[in-house]
A and B are shown apart, each in its own frame.
Chain A
């Protein structure tokens, strides 16, 4: 790499970044376009940009309701993931009979993609009476095996002496997790939150299957229904896309490091 001149590296990277960013630019441009978006040739910059398409989205469809649904489901998933995964991760740092078997089961479950479970998962959810509910949307995702393993690794890095000392002082187990382990496991917590957020926020197939009530639609589902009703005939569709992507971009740019680490640590260290 040393012999290659720097400017050529920069040039190559600028070209690559251009290709990575152009779809974002194009949707943003379309969403504020003042001109007819079906005019040919397409204008490369928006003429008299206006926010009307965004207003359309806000008033024509229950965007706020979709947004709320997404936020509620994501919140349930994040909170339960933190609780369940931390508990399981802690249990797996202890020695007990059958630990190997449990780890084997967990690692095997990791090989079952969610997509291979949709039919029975739907039937089970229907049987529990949870179709069209937040809980039904959240339940399959309230624990991720990768996140359990991340917690386990993080807990194992906590000095044993600290835990022993607390135990001798008679501190109950749940308090050891809550007061000693968790404050020392911020990276694992960040991983859990990022993972849960991205997967649940973007998840489309599961809501598509179990939600038929319009009031319960999450954002991806609302977006796809919008597409099937209006096709691509209005700029509002692209304003909708921008509104759906904005939170992810925002969160991503705010906590970039945790974000990238969170999404990759599961697959590279798990």
Chain B
């Protein structure tokens, strides 16, 4: 009797879990292993697999300049995220104050986050336009610059320009995460600190920042993810150009696989990208006390 009950329970659980697990098996686990296999093979669509050893990896690390550029660009993208987090923290502190209309402010700052990146990229490309773009117009009218700047066609400025858009879009998300963190800090701590004679600056650095650490790390992890996944913005705004100045690992992988049909090499690139991503997230996870890695990377 007991046995039958347990068997039925197992069957039920298995039945309920199967669809979801199947999806993850087919679209997460199998691809991961397949990439690994591709990275050690010579293979093109329709052909057969031949063992390649470390050939692709040697090519990548020794000869491939574009790989190096896209690798560095991805790291630059990632390293600029703390700037967005600082701004978001500032905004979060502001909208956490007891002021009228704070919900309206929150809504407006968050609004850009769920918008379609392809459309966002097109809009910003228009703002950056060399001849009639709003940004050049304002800078020229204010006398900051004399001649218009071709933001997205300049090898020096293209990457920062794209990163600014990425920050603009993700700022509201960071703000909400930090706001949630701020609201979970007990008010009594601030009262106690005030009684002990601590000023606002002191209580910010002694109470707010330390207690906000998990939220700050979570933001950074999300920033890291976005540096590995910001395909849409780059593709629409610059296509990785000029001269690969905005090439990220993900755009390079896409081009290699679906532009050049070099699936095997693109597989090796993916393995490197994934390894880098995983190491960074795991290190961050260590630092933050284990909570920060729990973010779905599918965005």
Residues on A facing B (Cβ under 8 Å): 1-4, 6, 9-10, 12-13, 16-17, 19-24, 26-27, 30, 37-42, 83-85, 87-88, 90-92, 94, 96-97, 102, 105-107, 109-124, 139-146, 148, 173, 198-199, 201-202, 204-205, 208-209, 219-220, 223-224, 227, 232, 237-238, 241, 244-245, 248-249, 252-253, 256, 259-260, 263-264, 266-268, 270
Contacts and interface: CB of A to CB of B under 8 A. Distances in A.
A238 B132 contact: no
Interface in B1-47: 9-10, 12-13, 16-17, 19-21, 23-24, 26-32, 34-35, 38
A172 B62 CA distance: 62
Given A115-B229, A140-B27, A96 B13 contact: yes
Given A37-B132, A42-B132, A252-B111, 10 more contacts: A10-B99, A12-B94, A23-B112, A27-B126, A84-B20, A113-B229, A114-B297, A209-B258, A248-B116, A270-B294
B194 to A, nearest CB: 9
B129 A232 contact: yes
B207 interface: no
18 contacts: A13-B91, A17-B105, A23-B168, A42-B134, A88-B20, A94-B9, A96-B9, A102-B21, A115-B229, A115-B250, A116-B32, A117-B35, A124-B30, A144-B296, A201-B116, A204-B117, A204-B118, A244-B116
Nearest to A267: B295
B110 interface: yes
Contact of B232 (A1, A83, A199, A205): A205
Interface of B: 9-10, 12-13, 16-17, 19-21, 23-24, 26-32, 34-35, 38, 91, 93-97, 99, 101, 105-120, 122-127, 129, 131-134, 137, 141, 168, 171-173, 176-177, 180, 200, 215, 218, 222, 225, 228-229, 231-232, 235-236, 250, 253-254, 257-258, 263, 266-267, 270, 273-274, 277-278, 281, 293-299
B10 A120 contact: no
Chain B contact surface mostly = helix
B10 A224 contact: no
B24 A109 contact: yes
B298 A205 contact: no
B31 A205 contact: no
Contacts of B168: 19-20, 23
A205 B229 CA distance: 10
A158 to B, nearest CB: 16
Contacts of A27: 123, 126
Chain A contact surface mostly = helix
Nearest to B101: A10
Contact of B298 (A22, A105, A113, A224): A113
A220 B232 contact: yes
With most chain A CB atoms within 10 A of its CB, the pick from B19, B293, B296 is B296
10 closest Cβ pairs, A-B complex: A113-B297, A120-B31, A117-B31, A120-B34, A91-B16, A88-B20, A87-B16, A143-B20, A114-B298, A220-B118
Contacts of B101: 10
B288 to A, nearest CB: 13
B21 A88 contact: yes
Contacts of A249: 111, 115
A122 B26 CA distance: 11
B35 A248 contact: no
A20 B21 contact: no
Contact of B200 (A1, A139, A223, A266): A1
